Structure formats: structure tokens, C-alpha cells
């Protein structure tokens, strides 16, 4: 008997669905990765030229830190109002 295990693997884009429309991903890509916006969009979609292309661990850490930095900057602005 063969057992098939289904992996419920969310893409980075799915994990960030709550903020996707509120963030300038072009600016994130340029400021933190020094890459084009299309590079980041392909990474978030998990595909590049029809081939799987996910974030590596270093890129995930950079994205995580970029979001933390952005949240701190937003918090600082909110406090100044």
C-alpha cells in the first residue's frame, strides 16, 4: 500500500497576502536587495521563466529584515503624528 503525503507549502507571496497591496515591492526590491521589481515578483510567485525559483535562506532573511525595518519606520511615523 502506497501512502501519499501532501505537503501544504505556502509560497512567500501567500504568506504575505495581508500586506501585498499596501507595500511598494519595487522599493523593497531596490532598497534591500538592489534588484529589479520583476526579480522580487518572480521570487514571490516562486517561478522564473517557467521554472521553480524560490527564495534561498539568505534572501528570506533579507526580506524578513526589510519588513521589520519598514514596520519600525511606519511605527516611528505614526508616533510622530
Question: How high is the pLDDT of residue 10?
Answer: 79
What is the pLDDT at residue 2? 62
For the segment 39-50, the average pLDDT, to the nearest whole number, is 87
pLDDT at site 8: 61
Per-residue pLDDT tens digits for 8-42:
677 888 888 888 778 899 999 999 999 999 999 99
Contact at 8 Å (CB) between 43 and 12? yes
Residue 53 within any structural domain of the chain: yes
The confidence score (pLDDT) of residue 38 equals 92
Predicted structure pTM score: 0.77
Range of the structural domain that residue 76 is part of: 23-80
**pLDDT tens digits, one per residue of 66-81:** 999 999 999 999 998 8
Residue 66 lies in a domain: yes
Q: How many domains is the chain partitioned into structurally?
A: 1
Q: Is residue 16 domain-resident?
A: no
Tell whether 48 is covered by a domain: yes
Strands 47-48 and 51-52, how do they pair? antiparallel
Give yes or no for a contact between 46 and 53, defined as CB atoms under 8 angstroms apart: yes
Amino acid at each position: 500500500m502506497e501512502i501519499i503525503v501532501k505537503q501544504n507549502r505556502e509560497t512567500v507571496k501567500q504568506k504575505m497576502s495581508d500586506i501585498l497591496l499596501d507595500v511598494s515591492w519595487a522599493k523593497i526590491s531596490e532598497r534591500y536587495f538592489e534588484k529589479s521589481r520583476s526579480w522580487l515578483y518572480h521570487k514571490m510567485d516562486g517561478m522564473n521563466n517557467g521554472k521553480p525559483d524560490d527564495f534561498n535562506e539568505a534572501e528570506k532573511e533579507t526580506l524578513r529584515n526589510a519588513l521589520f525595518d519598514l514596520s519600525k519606520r511606519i511605527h516611528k511615523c505614526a508616533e510622530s503624528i
